[in-house]
Amino acid sequence: MRADLHTHTTASDGELEPAALRALHAEVGFDLLAITDHDTVAGWATLDAAPPLAGGPRLIPGIEFSAADGRHEIHVVGLNIDPRSPAFMAAVDAQQARRRERAERIAARLQSIGVALTLADAQRHAGAAPPGRVHFARALVESGRVPDVESAFRRYLRHGKPGAVPHDWPDIEQVVDWVRAAGGRAVLAHPQAYDLGRKRLRELVGRFTRAGGEAIEVALANLRPDQMAQSAALAREFGLLASAGSDLHAPSQFWRLPSKVPQLPDDLVPVWHDWV
Ligand code: MN
Ligand code: MN
Ligand code: MN
């Protein structure tokens, strides 16, 4: 069973249209695919409304919610949710409103230091999604103010820079509740991405588990063997199901291509064990 349960499309900050993402996974021979765009299921909805792709992967409805753990931002992937349940749709709307409000504040901050960039400029790079920092970065590149996206973050958008606006995300309990109320499983996304160190990461996994989280990402593209072993050990210690994914945002990210998603260790129970 090959599963990629963490991906992004143009519905959030990815570069591939949902159909192109699915075609890529069909080519590599995936059985299961979850589009887990940031705080939206619009990418999933596009494919759900389209004809199925013969021989393509089965689609698992998914989302990647942003949440607050104290002052830190963490990500919770919700899998096998019912995207049409009213409470879930209200939760997605609330997250989208938070993103729009932040985008307005980023635009205002940049304008206040004399950067002639509007919300609409960033919106052109964001498609239907509320613009995030990467979309402002692309607009800054387009305006000729910086040579590349990395420079845009370094000069304007990174923490401590003029365009840095903190998020106001809901806490882990809230986000896990949304996923569970929609009939889904909450998965702690990319545990190594938070730069927490062994002890604090273990504490985070404890809080996540007590909140009702059921799974943790173990088999991710672009992980060192010791990092994957660390996540596997946390799954065993806390009795969590294990998930697998690429977190692909763009086909140019060769280190995150779906073909780079490793197999789960044999002794772990896959998060999809009772879906297939
Ligand atoms: Mn992203
Ligand atoms: Mn993430
Ligand atoms: Mn992601």
Structure tokens at 62: 């998914």
On whether the CB atoms of residues 233 and 266 are closer than 8 A, the answer is no
Condensed to tens digits (0 to 9), the pLDDT of residues 102-122 reads 999 999 999 999 998 999 999
Give the number of the ligand closest to the Cα of residue 129: 1
On whether the CB atoms of residues 261 and 244 are closer than 8 A, the answer is yes
**Single pTM value for the model:** 0.92
pLDDT value of residue 126: 87
The alpha carbon of 40 and the centre of ligand 1 are apart by a number of angstroms equal to 12
The alpha carbon of 114 and the centre of ligand 3 are apart by a number of angstroms equal to 32
The alpha carbon of 4 and the centre of ligand 1 are apart by a number of angstroms equal to 15
pLDDT value of residue 261: 96
Condensed to tens digits (0 to 9), the pLDDT of residues 10-43 reads 998 889 999 999 999 999 999 999 999 999 999 9
The alpha carbon of 189 and the centre of ligand 2 are apart by a number of angstroms equal to 6
The strands making up 32-33's β-sheet, listed across from edge to edge, are 3-4, 32-33, 58-59
The alpha carbon of 8 and the centre of ligand 3 are apart by a number of angstroms equal to 6
What letter would DSSP give residue 248?
B
| Averaged pLDDT of the chain | 95
Task: Give dist(CA 39, CA 47) in Å, integer.
Answer: 17
